Structure 1
Amino acid sequence: LPDVRSQDGFRASLDAIIIMRSNLYTVGRLIEAVMNDNEEEAMDCVKQGADCNQVNKHGAGAIHYVFTDLYLHPPLDLLSKMVANGADVNLRDYEGDTALNLAIKKTSLRPDNTMYKVVDQLMQWGADPTQKDLDGNDALALAENRKYLDIVKLLKKQKTSLIVPPPHETPVPSPRYQKSTTPYESRSPITHSPSPVHPDWGTPVLPAIRSSDPLIAPDREESITSAIEDDNTDELDALLNDPHANLNVPNSMGLFPLHVAILRNNPVSRNDMVQQLLNKGADINVKAIPNEDHDEGGNTPLHMSAARDQLDTVRILLTYDPAISPTNNEGLTPYNYAEQNGNSEMMRLLKEEQRNAERSNKSSTCVIL
């Protein structure tokens, strides 16, 4: 009788070889499709189960090639599908670079502010900003060396974000979401010491919040910044139509509604909100109040927009006659940020507005004898 076990073992080994070759073929197709800018083919490979973490003989994987000069902008739909199918955003190539490092090195992402969106998305997917390339530079060092101030702020913010409890632990609600019986509430993410427990009720007694605290905004004003953060245009419209709405009150982080609008990634909604707020009376020269949760201290909306390379938003702000050369807490002007970002058109606009302001001041102080 034939040895069935040996036949089964041979058949199993043969099946394993076929599967391995099939997987290698699919992986090869995936990398080749990405290198050929064939997003449809690449997407098909991912759907077929290609291992998105395999690298080729050059030590690079598909996730690295989407950030090379082959693409003006990385295909985020493909990236999202790869991540959903197990792609490791911290996979390093032959030069030690991760997708995050490569995104910051990709200069074509700067002109239209796509870099901020891509970096933010990679961070949400779990990108590690401390991974260093072979030159010893991590993401923050790369951004600082290139003077990408908006990316620096984003990376620093991520480094100081709250630690999410492990899945098996019940998350402790942030004080930001704890309701107070007073007409004010704090939206600060800072963790407070445990509240005293009433002996009879067994529930925490929340500490009273002083209405005189300059960083605590009334519910209405806090709702305005929340609507801006959530891109809830209907709610924002309703709040702004309230005759009692005050657009010049900071939230618990010391940022005013106009500052929060500048932080929007989507340029269309950002510009619409900026114009809407300014038309409703927001102070264009309002300065952010220093706070440990951000490093915008002393920044006007023009500072923040220039730092983030938002040329279209800067153009809009300039039509509302802002102060052109205010200094923030670091002694920097909006022009300094435009210069650091290398945005020649923004520099030209700010210089032109500065000259116009100087001419206007000179003519207004001229005395006819």
Structure 2
Amino acid sequence: MTEMTKRVQFEDDSNSQVEPLHRACALGSLDDIRDFFNSNPKLDDHFYEGLSPLHVAILSDRTDVIDVIDVLVNNGVDVNAQTETNKDTALHLAVENGEFPQNYDVIVKLIDCKADAEIRNKRLRSAYDCALAKGHDLVASTLDGSKSTNEVQNSYRERYGEKYAPILNEAVLESDEDTMKEYIKKGADPNYINKEGDSALNLAIKNEDLRKSGQMMQVVNLLLECGADVTFKDLDGKDALTLAKERQYSDVVAVLNKSKSEHVKEGEQSPEPLPESSSEQSPEPVPVPGTPLPESSSEQSPEPVPGTSPVPKPETMSSPEPEHVVMEALEDTRETDGNVNKPNEDGLYPIHQAVLKDDSDERQKLLETLTEAGADVNVVVKGLGTTPLHLAAEKNRVDSVKFLLEHGADKTKKTLLGKTAFDMASDKGHTEVMELLGDRHDIVQDRWKKGAKKSSSCTIL
């Protein structure tokens, strides 16, 4: 008898002997689960009919399963516990019983909770193997790290966006918020244009019934969260903001104005270079602390640091001191025309080149100068996906790793080969960097993997 069959029996079972936590996970509310832990702060290994509470939650039809996973894991339920019959983990069950893309967020949540995708069940299959066997290629690419969560979600949208978009638009016209949520989760494209030349966002604002029911703000916010384009114009040349202003929907106008400004910021891939001065051979200086601010770009340029001497304006500069710190010390940086967020011909950004410097004092000074000038600490090398943190970890630059983390470097970013900065340090055996980048789980897992490799190479005499 499979665990899935046992789950059906469990849900119909009114036997009072059933574990209360399992019953709460299958049929109760989120508060019921919290109440259990408030009354039972010490959790032993709870299994009922071969299933842990987490297994029951995954196999249930709950719409709040993400929140349930959070509560269970935070209260000590083992995310990698295996069922007694088939030795499946929660990740196995989610892959084998989920519908995608609807349940993709469950996979992501389990991975965030340190679910181990390499554990094998009784059939010697990992969760990755199960995903491939089920034809869930995008789930498999998440489990092996070959694609990021954002890449997978975009792939789902490309695959199902046009298929489900007409249903989404119809739901907007019918003020059916539940259907909207369902099909957006399935991957419906919120920017699909219907035969009348309208997007879902424009339709929502034009829908008077949606306004009367008080649901318009919820629908607008939902569409914006899912990437609805605020700049799209209908056949009359009106975008969502114009439509909302015409109808005097001040609350919608406020939300759209905020979204539109964020949209503009996202479109700016890199800071605009400073105005040209005299020749191509003399690039404009990088804005660094101590440099006087041009009147036209006072908001974009950093404020002068107290106690530093102002540098003459470009036209009258007799010494390129602040520029020299960034421009002269880095090889080929003149190719970027003074823009700290522009790569050279090799695809390397100034901050990557700074990390590669061997002299620690020079490296630290360059990193400080570049970040103060607005360098992106998470910028990647095109075609490799390598961030400055990846390079620092691989090169065992402990001071640079600390600096980058303190300045917002994302240690979860992966290269195109699926490597995090922790992985890069692990491959080279840089334990101090690993301690900075990994949590206890990462380090223990790494030791186990290396121990397994070592034992597999041993010869029994």
Fold in common (TM above 0.5): no
Instruction: Give the structure with the higher percent helix.
Output: 2
The TM-score normalised by the length of structure 1 is 0.39
The TM-score normalised by the length of structure 2 is 0.32
If asked which structure has higher relative contact order (CA below 8 Å, sep 6+), I would say 1
